[in-house]
């Protein structure tokens, strides 16, 4: 791949402080690698935290927005993509990512995890318990888990080498 | 609601014979109630089975197709909606349904279950085990389960009365 | 085609009384032929007029709605398809129609005319002047014009026979 | 606006050499201003020419792709957005642009011109004759025309100042 890899980080609009802090660190590490950060673009939760982390390290941040305008966008997004397609934009998030990192979230994040599997995208679950019931539900062997931002980065590097 | 309710039935393109038979019966019962059946429109699995059941009882069948043409459509679909939007059409499936019935399936079906919850749609899980881990994962109390086609119909009636 | 043809009628949310009256008559004639009427589903202009005409003759009316809810829908729509995709739903309007009839409208209607040509859909311009500049702009020979509802019906029959 | 403006350049997959050359120069000028170039991302016509011009001047190039993969993408696109939404992606092109520049093209480009007007986006027609019939058709006063790449840039600056 000649262009910089695009790392999509998915996760909830609400998250506890520790999860947000980890997400911000992850965003910074993605930027330091020279990778592009892609997320849902809004000014809340995992989206805001990863955008802030990447932006402050000089990274390129792409936000795929659900509305037909850019209100509610994170100020740390450099390129807003305004879809006007509501939740259907989640499909664009996944299709546009070379690697998907899913952080804890609600039903929206779960739909993105499911779409990643459906689209055969490399997927890293960050901050989830290695819950065997979850793996059973998702009906796939070999889900990749990571527990720290550094661990996520290492696993992205392994996946991109493939 | 003055118009006929729209019942969206989601489920995999592959399913075992017993599940398909149950889905066909469910389609027929939906038609006999005078309800509209909506599904993903393709000629495989749960989509084909429910369409056939409803069509043969004279029901109205709507198929929300992923491609930009109608090849691969079930012959039992009366009104194909050609979206050309790939997996993003799953969002339309859910938004257009007054009640969603999820049958067993893979990652695509899981994404539709997640979207139903995200969109606050009445949701019935048909043929799933009342697995507490599943409920935990979906992070919502009060998921409604049904084990027979007749049970699904009764639960739809209860939900529509609300 | 075993299923009933789907006739998509496009046109503005605002129109003068005479145009609306013609659109209502056209909707009725489509229903009397046993065809399905598809439009943008809202309770204004050409959408409302054609839906009313078809509904009152017992026809099946499908409305492809732009919002993620059904508020603002015409009461004469029997099956609302809720897309949540804003103007992108115009693509679905065109792809889902076996024949497109364009009535006078604004920029939204013009985009649907352009998409019909792009998608190689049979297209009838109803109530437009046979303006040679318009044809030049659209860069296609053989645009089909009709001046009365009966004329539209006759031209649909000719196109469907192909 | 704190972030760099996004200039969407629309135009056909086929164009004559002179038009392509002008488009390439325009892409370069957009990059030299520090603006982001957004287009349909494919390796043909106006898309390829503008991407090449911007890329070679070190600009950021965003391609909104219609397919669910990135085959057929211009090699000069730095960030591909993979929509899987076919022509519906034209809506995203327009909504995401702070200013739209339309170059000559076919029905697809016409649909983007129409959508720009529908969405009230600042719109510059580049290389079109100031054809009064065209303006009549589009039913809007005050369409802005430009005849050289430098003229386009000057008009973008005027529009962004507003």
Q: Give the closest residue to D149 by CA, choosing from D61, D37, D63.
A: D37
Closest residue in D to C93 (Cα) is D88
Q: Which residues lie closer than 8 Å to D107 by C-beta, 6 or more apart?
A: C114, C115, C117, C118, C138, C139, C140
The per-residue pLDDT for range C17-47, each reduced to its tens digit, is: 999 999 999 999 999 999 999 999 999 999 9
> What subunits make at least 3 CB pairs under 8 angstroms with B?
A, C, D
Higher-confidence residue: C1 or D132? C1
Cα–Cα distances in Å, from A74 out to A50, A112, B154?
10, 20, 45
Residue D162 scores a pLDDT above 70: no
Span D41-51, average pLDDT: 97
In degrees rounded to 5, what are phi and psi of residue C73? -80, 145
Q: Which residues of B touch A118 (CB under 8 A)?
A: 87, 106-108, 111
Averaged pLDDT, A112-134: 83
What phi and psi values does residue A73 have, to the nearest 5 degrees? -80, 145
Residues 6+ apart with CB under 8 A from B98: B1, B5, B6, B7, B122, B160
Sheet holding B61-65, edge to edge: B79-82, B61-65, B36-39, B6-10, B99-102, B123-126, B144-146
- Tell me if chain A has a CB within 8 Å of the CB of C87: yes
Measured between beta carbons, the chain A residues lying within 8 angstroms of D54 are: none
ipTM: 0.93
Residue D27 reports pLDDT greater than 80: yes
Largest CA distance in chain A: 41
D55 and D49 Cβ atoms separated by less than 8 Å: no
Instruction: Tell whether D130 is within 8 A of chain C (Cβ).
Output: no
What's the whole-number average pLDDT of chain D? 91
Provide the pLDDT confidence category of residue C162 given band limits of 50, 70 and 90.
low
Tell me how many residue pairs between chain A and chain C have CB atoms under 8 A apart. 17
Residue listed under structure tokens 């901050």: A127
pLDDT of residue A108: 87
Question: Is the minimum CB–CB distance between C102 and chain B shorter than 8 Å?
Answer: no
A139: left (phi over 0), alpha (psi -120 to 50) or beta: left
Is B18:B41 a contact under the CB 8 Å cutoff? no
The closest of C6, C69, C17 to C48, measured between CA atoms, is C17
In the block, residue with structure tokens 């993105």? A112
Question: What pLDDT is attached to residue B2?
Answer: 81
Contacts B138 to A, Cβ<8 Å? 107, 110
For the CA atoms of chain C, what is the radius of gyration? 14
Q: State whether residue B158 sits within 8 Å of chain D by CB.
A: no
Tell me phi and psi for residue B74, to 5 degrees: -65, 140
First-to-final CA distance of chain C: 11
Whole-number Å distance between alpha carbons of C5 and C25? 18
DSSP C118: H
Range A125-137 average pLDDT? 68
Is the Cβ pair A87, B115 closer than 8 Å? yes
Q: What is the dihedral of CA B109, B113, B115, B116, to 10 degrees?
A: 130
pLDDT category of residue A110 using cuts at 50, 70 and 90: confident
Q: Does B36 touch chain C (CB under 8 A)?
A: yes
The answer to whether C79 touches C97, Cβ cutoff 8 Å, is no
Q: Per-residue confidence at D152, pLDDT binned at 50, 70, 90?
A: very high
Average pLDDT over residues A109-129: 90
- A86 chain-C contacts, CB cut-off 8 A: 68, 84-85
Any idea which of A142-156, C70-84, C127-141 has the lowest mean pLDDT?
Answer: C127-141
Query: Residue A47 is encoded by which pair of tokens?
Result: 């989206």
Domains of chain B by start residue, with CATH: 6-161 (3.40.50.450)
CA distance C95 to C119: 7
Judged against a pLDDT cut of 80, whether residue A135 lies above it is answered with: no
Query: Can you give the pLDDT at residue B105?
Result: 83
Tally Cβ neighbours within 10 Å of residue B101. 31
> Residue D16: is it exposed, middle or buried by C-beta count within 10 angstroms (0-12/13-18/19+)?
exposed
Phi, psi dihedrals of residue D76, rounded to the nearest 5°: -95, 10
Q: Considering only residues 42 to 81 of chain B, which have any Cβ-Cβ distance to chain A shorter than 8 Å?
A: none
Mean pLDDT of chain C: 91
Q: Round to whole Å and give the CA distance between B145 and C27.
A: 42
- CA pair distance C58, C4, nearest whole angstrom: 14
Which tokens hold the place of C38?
């598809």
Low-confidence ranges of chain B (pLDDT < 70): 1, 130-141, 162
- Which chains are adjacent to chain D, needing at least 3 Cβ pairs under 8 Å? A, B, C
CA distance D65 to D84: 7
Query: Dihedrals φ, ψ of A24, to 5°?
Result: -65, -40
C-alpha gyration radius of chain D: 14
Total number of residues shown for chain A: 162
Touching check for B84 and chain C: CB below 8 Å?
A: yes
Looking at residue B12, what is its pLDDT? 85
For C89, name the nearest residue in chain A, comparing CA atoms only: A85
Stretch A104-130: mean pLDDT, rounded? 88
């Amino acid at each position: 791949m000649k262009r910089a890899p695009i790392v999509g980080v998915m996760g909830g609009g609400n998250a506890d402080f520790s999860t947000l802090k980890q997400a911000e660190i992850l965003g910074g590490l993605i930027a330091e690698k020279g990778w592009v950060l892609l997320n849902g673009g809004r000014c809340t939760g995992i989206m805001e935290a990863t955008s802030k982390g990447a932006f402050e390290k000089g990274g390129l941040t792409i936000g795929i927005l659900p509305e037909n305008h850019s209100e509610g966008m994170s100020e740390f997004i450099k390129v807003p993509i305004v879809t006007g397609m509501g939740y259907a934009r989640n499909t664009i998030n996944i299709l546009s990512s070379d690697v998907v990192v899913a952080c804890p979230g609600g039903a929206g994040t779960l739909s993105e995890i499911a779409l990643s599997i459906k689209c055969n995208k490399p997927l890293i679950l960050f901050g989830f318990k290695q819950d065997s019931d979850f793996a059973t539900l998702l009906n796939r062997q070999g889900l990749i888990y990571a527990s720290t931002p550094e661990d996520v980065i290492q696993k992205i590097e392994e996946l991109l080498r493939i």
